[in-house]
Amino acid sequence: MVLDSYGRLSRVPETGELEKIDTQWADNRKVIERIGASLGEQLKDGLSAWKRSVRRPGWERLLERVESGESDGIVVWHTDRLFRQPRDLEKLIELGERGFKIYSAHGERDLSRADDRFILRIEVAQACKSSDDTSRRIKRRFATKREQGAGYLGGPRRFGWPGKDLAWVPGPEETDKDRPDVTADQVERERTALREGTDAQLAGIGQGTIANEWNAAGLRTALGREWIAVTVKSVLSRPMNAGLIEHDGKLVGRMEGDPIVDPEDFERLRAIYAARRRGRVVGERYIGTGILRCWLCRMKLSAAPKDTVYKDTGERRAVYFCNKQRRGCGKVYGDRRAIDHELRLLVIARQSDSRHASAVAAARARVADRLADLRAEIGECEQLQEALSERLGLREIRLDAFDRANKPLAADLARLRAERDQLSGGNADGPVEAQPPEEVARQWDDGDVSERRTMLTSALEKNVLYLKPAARTGARVFDRERLTFDDPEDPSGTAE
């Protein structure tokens, strides 16, 4: 009996080390010796052989030898080295149905036997499913981390998990090497907080309240900061707390051991968050939120309704304010209606100002030229990259040559794409002609909140509009000087 030996260069997922073909062949020879067969050809394929688009000379040679009857079987470490997809197995079955043997870590399979074909088909289907390689890599990495006692997917320590204490500050004689692990006691307290926080959210208690409770109990984020509503939400949304391993939003596995939070509770909570996200149009209830900024701390302003009404219209009062729950200073606030009134005047003044309109038009024209250049450059880089990959696939160049040539290309592409996204991210479609003020006013008055926000953004272009704190004069009238383009760091007014 003549057995071929097959090796495929690959990396050990945990360490990135190469599983050398020589090693694989040496192991295969031992198997052939043990069976008492003779060694036919030693076949191999390269690192990228798992990719569908890449040719595999070793595999193709094997098919030839099976077809011609020169080979009675193949020895390989694992069947998943041999078969990229079920189609590969079917091909081999077709050629070797009258008797071809596969020896691997899974045992001996004979393609002339229906039972063995059945088993192989299941093995290959499973291997394909899990060798959705990312998923397998992540699981392996996770398994290794677990063995090391870290219990999570790597990276910095997460709240509720063991690891290096990120809140620790080195003393005068200490360096980062001295950074201690958090205590088991602290991890346990954090885990209790995660469970109780999830229960509280499911019972309708707000994130702000939970943040306050955690702060009062002396709990801090993994980085040692105080809790605010958004960080509470983000920490309660982590799948790993429920023992779920997700990658790009897809479940790829479950962690061993008891999850911190009941997976069912976690899914319910996530459903609630998702429903809220769908139900709410972000920031569309007020014209200035996320656009106006606090003059003291530069954070974007939030808005919230009040319990009182404007006497003349009966409309509910609201304020713009610098939001502590969004890491703002909390010191600046102003009446919603008064500020919206000023925003309306500002938009009318700017959009009907021919100097402003022509400046906007010129700026857009400059951007348009640059954008066209960028698109052309990106296209060129992509073509080069494609040509390179093609040559690699045809084995006209080696992998290391490909890497050398591709590295600067990839860097260029990243830079070009970032600039393109930044330039095209602005509002490039607004009017560039000056309009009569009555026309702008009519658009504003007829528009809904979202249309007014678009008009405001368009009128501001690259300028930032700040809200200053109120002077303590007790005046009831809104002081329009509080809205300013001045840069707080550079009050000379060069911002406009």
Q: Judged by CB, which is closer to Zn ion: 17, or 481? A: 481
Q: Judged by CB, which is closer to Zn ion: 296, or 441? A: 296
Member of 238, 328, 338, 483 binding Zn ion (CB under 5 A): 328
Tell me how far apart the alpha carbons of residues 455 and 400 are, in angstroms, rounded to a whole number.
Answer: 52
By CB under 5 A, the count of residues binding Zn ion is 6
H helix or E strand, kind and range, residue 102: strand 101-104
Instruction: Give me the amino acid identity at 211.
Output: A
Q: Check the CA dihedral 258-264-268-274 and report its sign.
A: positive
Q: Judged by CB, which is closer to Zn ion: 228, or 348? A: 228
In the complex, minimum distance from the CB of residue 290 to Zn ion, in angstroms, rounded to a whole number: 14
Tell me how far apart the alpha carbons of residues 61 and 283 are, in angstroms, rounded to a whole number.
Answer: 62
Helix axes 114-130, 133-147, angle to 10 degrees: 80
Calculate the dihedral angle through the C-alpha atoms of 30, 36, 40, 43, rounding to the nearest 10 degrees.
-30
Q: Does 66 bind Zn ion (CB under 5 A)?
A: no
Q: Judged by CB, which is closer to Zn ion: 322, or 459? A: 322
Name the residue with the smallest CB distance to Zn ion: 294
Tell me how far apart the alpha carbons of residues 358 and 310 are, in angstroms, rounded to a whole number.
Answer: 39
In the complex, minimum distance from the CB of residue 469 to Zn ion, in angstroms, rounded to a whole number: 9
Q: Candidates 163-171, 178-186, 281-289, 292-300 — which segment interacts with Zn ion by CB under 5 A? A: 292-300
Which tokens belong to 340? 């919206």
Query: Tokens 């790597």 appear where?
Result: 154
In the complex, minimum distance from the CB of residue 406 to Zn ion, in angstroms, rounded to a whole number: 46
3-state secondary structure of 108: strand
In the complex, minimum distance from the CB of residue 288 to Zn ion, in angstroms, rounded to a whole number: 14
In the complex, minimum distance from the CB of residue 164 to Zn ion, in angstroms, rounded to a whole number: 33
Tell me how far apart the alpha carbons of residues 289 and 284 are, in angstroms, rounded to a whole number.
Answer: 8
In the complex, minimum distance from the CB of residue 480 to Zn ion, in angstroms, rounded to a whole number: 20
Per-residue x/- mask for Zn ion, residues 294 to 313, rule CB under 5 A?
Answer: x-xx----------------
Q: Does 329 bind Zn ion (CB under 5 A)?
A: yes
Q: Judged by CB, which is closer to Zn ion: 128, or 296? A: 296
Query: First-to-last CA distance in the chain?
Result: 86
Q: Residue length, the chain? A: 496
In the complex, minimum distance from the CB of residue 456 to Zn ion, in angstroms, rounded to a whole number: 20
Residues that bind Zn ion (CB under 5 A): 294, 296-297, 322, 328-329
